[in-house]
Amino acid sequence: MNIAYYVGACDKSDMLLAVAALLSRLERKVLLIDGTTLGWLKFRNGAWVTKEQWVAWNGWDCASGVRDWNEVEALVQALHIDLEGYDNIIIDTDQIDFYPAERFSSLDEKYLVLTAETSSIHRHLEWMMLYELQHQRDINDQLQFIIMHAADPQEDRRYVEQVLTSAGVHSTREPLVIPYEESDWIAKLRSDTRQTIELKLYARSTRDVWRELVESSAGPLTDKIWRTIIKGSLRGSRHHEAI
């Protein structure tokens, strides 16, 4: 079981839906957990209507309406679900202490997702300082950076690294950068109106980052397999049917 932890106060929904879809198309059993304050996932999968916290959707399972890992475990126990049966668990949260502090280092993948906006960078630094004070644990060197919506990828990466490094926060690996691309916004809007997720419509630079995230847990993929899962199936709607 691979657990990937994505923490950040910016919209990660398209990226994590893509990663979940791609992993499921590799015939892996996937659980996507929405631990964000606003709870975006229930509005994408229709669970806000039924008030279900756990639904099967588009070839993977989704959990939403949970505030921390203790609530996930309580939900799992109530529904008699075995988390060990999943190949991949993806956690989206805007709360850095969503997962128990004493088990944080055991997570397989840990990402800090942010933009190059100064307010975004300093908000995340504040989180990390408060986390260290509250839990007496230093996680400054445990997270890989993902920089979203970069208008100038090289310059934005340099600026983010400069500010975070000056505060003692370092990326565990080379930061991943998703450039600002108009085609990504068009693909996002089309997904909403058509109720599908057409991954091939996103920019190549965006898909390249998705590939790195998928391969980090599933292992290297051939170009042929990658092209196959990017195209995928477009049948059905986003409401509990395959896409």
Give this prediction's pTM.
0.93
For 46-98, what is each residue's pLDDT tens digit? Answer: 898 989 999 999 899 999 999 999 999 999 999 999 999 999 999 999 999 99
Q: What is the pLDDT of residue 239?
A: 40
For 123-168, what is each residue's pLDDT tens digit? Answer: 999 999 999 999 999 898 999 999 999 999 999 999 999 999 999 9
Q: Dihedral sign for Cα 79, 82, 87, 90, please.
A: positive
Q: What is the pLDDT of residue 198?
A: 86
Q: How far is 34 from 142, CA to CA, in rounded Å?
A: 21
How many Å is the Cα radius of gyration of the chain? Answer: 17
Within 8 A by CB and 6+ apart from 193, the residues are: none
Angle at the Cα of 152 (from 146 to 154), degrees rounded to 5? 65
* Contact (CB, 8 A) for 139 and 107: no
Q: Is a pLDDT exceeding 70 seen at residue 37?
A: yes
Superfamily of the domain at 2-227 = P-loop containing nucleotide triphosphate hydrolases (3.40.50.300)
Closest CA to 22 of 185, 236, 221: 221
